[in-house]
């Protein structure tokens, strides 16, 4: 995938996130603050604006634009955590004009490690980590098995979706949901849902642009 294709793919992700505001709000209202959808839509509306004007000189520049825009405009825990997903994996990389499956695995693995450290969340805490970690593991397996970009992103999206689904089984350790105790069981985490939406749109974009 070229850096320009990567830009177009994340542009589609940004549009998808903006259009998911109502759905995320509905999920978050059950056990969260109810503002996750608003925050994500706000952040990705800015990402869309920035990406539309960006000359995709490198894959890293695309990731950085997405991450820094989220970090600078969103606020809240989500601004830092979703910004981390796009920034921490590329912060020490040389610029590349192309990205392959193994690069996605490397970048997101590094982001995941920083995310877990920064957010202090473990798998099973009913957070975005529950969707992100399975997607990263899936990408690593795909890289090892030399799968195509399409195969890899399809699998990663499925893993993120299952991970997001699984958050229904957990009690929460963070945010408003924590105060629900056992009553949080049965409800899906909004942050994990956003991770799924990101990977799903990446996968959908590749399927449509093969």
Partner 1 sequence: MKRLVNQEERMISDMIDGYVKLSQGKVQSVPGVNAIMKTNCKEKVSVVVGGGSGLDPWPIGYVGEGLADGAAVGNVFCAPPAKSILEVTRNVPHERGIVYIVTNHAGDVLNFELVSELAGMEGIKTRQIYINDDITSAGSDEKEERRGIGGIAILTKLAGAVTDAGNSLDETFRLLEKAKDSIGTFSVTTAPSYSPVTGKQCFALEDGKMEYGMGFNGETGILRTDISTADDIAETLMEGLLEDLGVRSGDRVAIWLNGYSMTSQIELSIIAGRCCDLLLEKKIQLYDIQIERLYVTPGAAGLSISMLKLDEELEKYYNTPADAPFFKIMEKR
Residues forming the site for partner 1 (CB under 8 A): 33-35, 38-39, 71-81, 118-119, 174-176, 179-180
129-144 helix and 190-208 helix, angle to the nearest 10 degrees:
30
Q: Which one, 176 or 209, has the nearer CB to partner 1?
A: 176
Distance, in Å, from the CA atom of 165 to the CA atom of 161, rounded to the nearest integer, reads: 6
Number of Cβ within a 10 Å radius of residue 6: 27
Q: Which one, 9 or 41, has the nearer CB to partner 1?
A: 41
Shortest separation between residue 33's beta carbon and partner 1, angstroms: 5
Shortest separation between residue 15's beta carbon and partner 1, angstroms: 19
Q: Which one, 61 or 121, has the nearer CB to partner 1?
A: 121
Q: Which one, 22 or 57, has the nearer CB to partner 1?
A: 22
Shortest separation between residue 79's beta carbon and partner 1, angstroms: 5
Q: Which one, 80 or 158, has the nearer CB to partner 1?
A: 80
Shortest separation between residue 42's beta carbon and partner 1, angstroms: 8
Burial of 186: CB neighbours in 10 Å, binned 0-12, 13-18, 19+: exposed
Partnered with residue 98 across adjacent β-strands are 2
Please, what sign has the CA dihedral across residues 82, 83, 86, 87?
negative
Backbone torsion region of residue 75, taken as left when φ is above 0, otherwise alpha when ψ lies between -120 and 50, otherwise beta: left
Distance, in Å, from the CA atom of 4 to the CA atom of 180, rounded to the nearest integer, reads: 44
Shortest separation between residue 80's beta carbon and partner 1, angstroms: 4
Shortest separation between residue 95's beta carbon and partner 1, angstroms: 21
Q: Which one, 83 or 134, has the nearer CB to partner 1?
A: 83
Number of Cβ within a 10 Å radius of residue 209: 12
DSSP state of 173: -
């Amino acid at each position: 995938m070229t850096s320009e294709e990567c830009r177009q793919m994340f542009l589609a992700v940004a549009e998808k996130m903006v259009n998911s505001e109502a759905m995320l709000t509905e999920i978050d209202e059950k056990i969260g603050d109810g503002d996750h959808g608003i925050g994500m839509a706000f952040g990705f509306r800015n990402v869309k604006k920035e990406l539309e004007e960006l000359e995709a000189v490198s894959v890293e520049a695309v990731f950085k634009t997405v991450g820094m825009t989220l970090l600078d405009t969103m606020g809240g825990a989500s601004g830092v955590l979703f910004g981390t997903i796009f920034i921490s994996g590329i912060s020490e990389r040389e610029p590349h004009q192309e990205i392959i499956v193994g690069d996605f695995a490397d970048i997101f693995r590094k982001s995941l490690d920083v995310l877990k450290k920064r957010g202090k969340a473990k798998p099973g805490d009913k957070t975005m980590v529950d969707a992100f970690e399975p997607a990263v593991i899936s990408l690593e397996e795909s890289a090892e098995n030399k799968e195509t970009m399409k195969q890899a992103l399809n699998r990663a999206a499925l893993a993120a979706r299952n991970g997001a689904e699984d958050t229904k089984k957990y009690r929460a350790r963070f945010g408003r949901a924590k105060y629900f105790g056992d009553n949080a069981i049965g409800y899906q985490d909004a942050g994990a849902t956003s991770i799924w939406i990101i990977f799903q749109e990446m996968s959908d974009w590749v399927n449509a642009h093969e």
